[in-house]
Structure 1
Amino acid sequence: MGKGWFKTHRVLWKKPIWTGSTPEQKVVLMTLLSMANYEYRQWEWKGKVYTVRAGQTITSLASLQEECGKNISVQQIRTALKRLEKYGFLTNESTNENRLITIVNWDDYQQYEHAETTNLTTDQQGTNKAVTTKKNYKHYKHYKNKRIRSFAYANPVQEYQLDLTKGEAL
């Protein structure tokens, strides 16, 4: 199984496919979500070229059982696959060597909001920096006036600078 993360949209928890499932069926569902590829992928294995799209995985019942963990039988996996297929959550194409499982609404469950988040974050940083700069400037003015008065008496010839971000003398 690949590294990284996947999303589970909250709408899934309200659907009959989740609310009416046994714990074992829920384990199979979540395992399949975690196994699905997040992007187009192509590779060669035993002389045969395999291609999968986002939301697909090529596996076997034995591999799926291993990924699901303890106490999940092959029969429970078959039952879960039939149920998930009946509800339109996935398609299951089986051959004598492997099976191609496709999460039907993969894009709905894994929508990427990166562009919106980036713009929002950039705008927030700009706004927050402006506010922070004003606060630092006020602090700087107070600190500067206070330090110059006391510093001028102690050492009138020596120059000094303030770091505006920290309000400390350099």
Structure 2
Amino acid sequence: MKGEISLKDKNIVVCVTGGIAAYKVVNLVSMLKKQGADVTVILTENAAKFVAPITFQSISSNLVYMNIFDDRYSADIKHISLAQNADLVVIAPATANIIGKIANGIADDMISTTVMATNAPVIIVPAMNTAMYENPIVQHNISRLKEFNYTFMIPGVGSMAMPSEKGGIGRLPEPDKIFDYINNFDF
């Protein structure tokens, strides 16, 4: 990371996976837009159960993509064009599922295919239950992706979605912290 850069006219693809913290990413998209970034959002089907696509569409002023086979809007292959035009890809919240898919070369949804097709830097912001985050398989997948130059933001520590959980590492950082991380990232 270097000093703060301008986000004006940067093409940022924000990938939102199915975690309760997905609602926080609406604020992140808003912050990026206010700094002049062109933000396109990709949602998994599970993410859309937490935040409706229309919310991200309204905030980003761009279409929201969920399905690799949805060709209603253009003749181009969207996961390829998004990947090629991206200056940066951010996955937040990044579930254990999407981390595992990418680490093992599985490209079976809009997010995983876009990530596999991009040459842009990818920032992954994990968010999940502490036990899941600390699971050796998840940690192995994170280490593997770091070897391939994927960048990970360390999750926050604190209370989780389940009232019975005492808290621990795995919480999605607040949107302003993610924004600062992106704004100071050299891309």
TM-score range (shorter-chain normalised) is under 0.3
Normalising by structure 2, report the TM-score. Answer: 0.26
Q: Looking at both structures, which has the greater relative contact order when contacts are Cα pairs under 8 Å and sequence separation is at least 6?
A: 2
Decide which structure has the larger Cα Rg and report it. 1
